Structure formats: structure tokens, C-alpha cells
Structure 1
């Protein structure tokens, strides 16, 4: 039996929104690599039409415990890897055109699907090697919920702690929460940061107090921090930094 807090995975035709199948679990999709083609196994699959040999323009959706969509991946063409004898099978192997390059994302989706309310700084409880996967889930969930790359927080003041920025993903996690609250997104690279800043309101300006900026420079590199500051100021953010 699938645990209650496991996410459910749903295959959907992107054009018609027809549900092609459901699965209680999935393996082979969240794997290290470049996100290329792979063999994916749907565990506890049902609603799979055995007469269909392939599906085009498929989206893989991540559902929470209430069966609400919280994330989505466009995977393109999907085809069975071998015969499909039944609509309801314990394990169904499919050839996916696209996979996810973050193996840890599956466990993070599991946490997000459980229904527990996200807390500020929750990403810091995970190993720093998994901050990239957390940021990936944040970005995917943000856009899957219909939000845009923009500022949604009601406060114009943002506090950033450079001592928490052990890598670039940590910087964007810290910034996303500072601007848009727990689980918030505000860029995942410099181009995306510029998109978010340019889409935000002009009045009031975004006021950023960045403490321990020297720690951020030590971890991220002076060039990265300089580029971030230039980008923020270019789009009207008012920044005050503090070392030590």
C-alpha cells in the first residue's frame, strides 16, 4: 500500500488534458545526469490504455495527498517498454523522452506532497548538496501553481543572510524566501533574477539588507556577488550590505 504522504504521479496529454494514467510511485525518472531519455517505471499504475503504443506531448504531474497538482514536467513522447497486458499493473515500464536530473527531488516532492506547511528556512535542514534540488522543486512548484516570475511579497524590505549562502542554490533559496515567503521563488540564475526584478513593482522599491556579505563572497566568489549586486541595482533595488 502506498503511504499517504507519497506523491501521486499522473500522465496527462498536454493538448487535450486527458488523463493517460496514474501511479502511486515512480522510479527511473529522478536520476543523475542531463535529464535525457530513460526507462521509467510506474509503480501501482492504473488507467493505462493497453492498446496505445505511444503517447505524444505528455506531461508528468506531481500530485499531493489531496490529488492536487503541485508540480509538472513536460516529457514529450512516452511509449511502453514492452507489452502492456493490463490497465492495472504493479509495475509498468515506459520509455520517457525526458527525465529529471535531480535524484533528490523525488524525496523533496514527497515532503511537499505531505500537506505540511512550509516554514521559512526549511531548505537549510537538508544537506547543502541537495540545495540545488530544493531550488528546482521551488521553481517547478512556483510556475506550476500559475505564479509568474515576479514579486508577490507585500513587504518592500528583504533581509538576506550571507552566512547561509554556502552555494549559489542557497543564495537563490534565501532570496526567494526573503521576497516571496516560505517556498518562494525569485530567480534561479542571473537572467531569471533579472526577469523577476523587471516584473516587480517600481513603487515601493525593493529594499535589500544583505548581512554577512563577506561570507557570501567567500563561498560564492566575488565575481558572482558583484554580478548579483549589479543586476539588483540595475532594476531599481536599494541594497545595503554589511560585513562581519
Structure 2
């Protein structure tokens, strides 16, 4: 809420070609869903239209943007066609009205992403290992937000840090997703991205060749971490890093 008691928009529905904001919303229900139910026919958009919209008429070429307190895009989803079916009035508090819509089955299969986006948009500084505030089953949602925001805010798949030694804390690695979160932060700082797959790591290393010299990666508490994420994946990740000249030390 702002100082006037109004809800601060977290989302903009935008006409992609023109960039015109159609609807601003502080909450969207039904878009971030569990991966085994990645289709949602009813979307509740808690917000208001910037101009006139026609109920029952589809909006086309729509992008859903996640915005921070300054109104700057920190994430985005291309939705395409959006159907505005009806409006609803708020109950119990101001600003709770909005639209009942359909994204025609398109949804984001990362259930915790909405809460994570709200944290990222709040203006509070990101801290190392922030995903550990969430249960292990939500670490893939954190990784999704990391990757989406990294590219939306204009950064490339490469190393930006200048330090010669990067350190992974294996105690933070509970699964495959948290490994990629920890790797990204060890190389590029809190909220940093350095791949979300083995191919993604290779891409980041490829595009880092001319920007930064090979670095050393020290993996602390590696034994338990490699078991939790899967020994085969851990061995492959280390292999990719070493293939591109990264000196990997396991401790």
C-alpha cells in the first residue's frame, strides 16, 4: 500500500507493440500454478484499466510485466490473447476489485513465483542465499524469477564479477535448482544468474570468454551437496566448468 492506502501495482498488462499499459494490477490469481496443473481458465486480475476496455472482447498481443516500486519492468511474460469476461467489486477493502479474465490456458508453472516477484519488487536489497527463506519445493520458482529478471533487465548470459575466486557454499544446495541459484550468486552476486541448465552454464562461459579471464571456483561442503542435487548432475556441471578453463576445487 502507498501512503494514501492504495495498493501499489505489481503488474502491468501491456500492448506489446505500442507499449501502452492497458491494466495495472497489484495481484493476479490463477496465473502462477503448480507444475502439474499448468493450465488455468479463470484469472482474477485485482486492479483497474488505464483507459476504456470492452468486456467480452479479447485483448491481443498482450505482455504481462512485473514492475518494481519505480514502475520499471523487472520481469515479463508474453501472454498473447487475453479475454476480459467480467468485472468484480472489492469486498472488505478498497482496491480489491478487478477483472475476471482468461489467458486461454496459459499459466506459469512456478507456484511460488508470485510471492518471490513481490519480494524482488519491494526495493529491499537481495541477500546471498535468499531462496533459503522458501521451502525446497519453491527453489525452482526462485530460479525461474532469477532467469526471467536477469534478461528482462538487460543483462546477458555471462560473468559480470571481476573476482578471481568464486565460492559455492554447499550447505545451501538442497536440490538441482538451488545449485544453479548458488552458482549464479557465487559468480554474479545476490540474485545473479549463471545458467539454469548445463547448456545454460556453457552459454554463460562461452560469452564470458572475452569479458573475463578464467576463474577459480571453490566448492565448499561439496560432498553432501553433490548427493542432494544428484551425483551425476554434479559431475557433469564440474565437467562443463573445467572444459571452459574454470579451475574447480572441491572441499
Would the TM-score normalized by the shorter structure come out above 0.5? yes
Stretches of structure 1 lacking an aligned partner (at least 5 in a row): none
Stretches of structure 2 lacking an aligned partner (at least 5 in a row): 89-94
Q: Please say if residues 7 and 113 of structure 1, whose CA atoms lie closer than 8 Å, have aligned partners that are also in contact.
A: no
Alignment partner, residue 27 of structure 1: 29
Q: After the TM superposition, which of the residue ranges 131-140 and 42-51 deviates more from structure 2?
A: 42-51
Alignment partner, residue 243 of structure 2: 234
SS at match of 1:81: strand
Residue from 9, 12, 15 that aligns with 1:13: 15
- Indicate the RMSD between aligned Cα atoms, in angstroms: 2.3
Alignment partner, residue 67 of structure 1: 71
Alignment partner, residue 40 of structure 1: 43
TM-score (normalizing by structure 2): 0.87
Q: What aligned pairs does 1:148-227 form with structure 2 within 5 A after superposition?
A: 148-202=156-210, 203-227=212-236
**Which deviations, in whole Å up to 9, do the C-alpha atoms of 1:139-177 show, x marking residues without a partner?**
111111011111111213110122321101110111010
SS at match of 1:133: helix
CA distance 1:35–1:201, shift in 2 (3 Å): same
Q: Please say if residues 80 and 93 of structure 1, whose CA atoms lie closer than 8 Å, have aligned partners that are also in contact.
A: yes
Q: C-alpha distance in 2, partners of 1:6/1:206?
A: 42
SS at match of 1:24: strand
Pairwise CA distance, 1:193: 1.2
**Which deviations, in whole Å up to 9, do the C-alpha atoms of 1:107-157 show, x marking residues without a partner?**
111111111011112222222221111111111111110111111112131
How many residues are aligned here?
239
**Which deviations, in whole Å up to 9, do the C-alpha atoms of 1:170-213 show, x marking residues without a partner?**
10111010000011011111111111111113552121111222
Q: C-alpha distance in 1, partners of 2:182/2:110?
A: 20
Q: C-alpha distance in 2, partners of 1:31/1:106?
A: 9
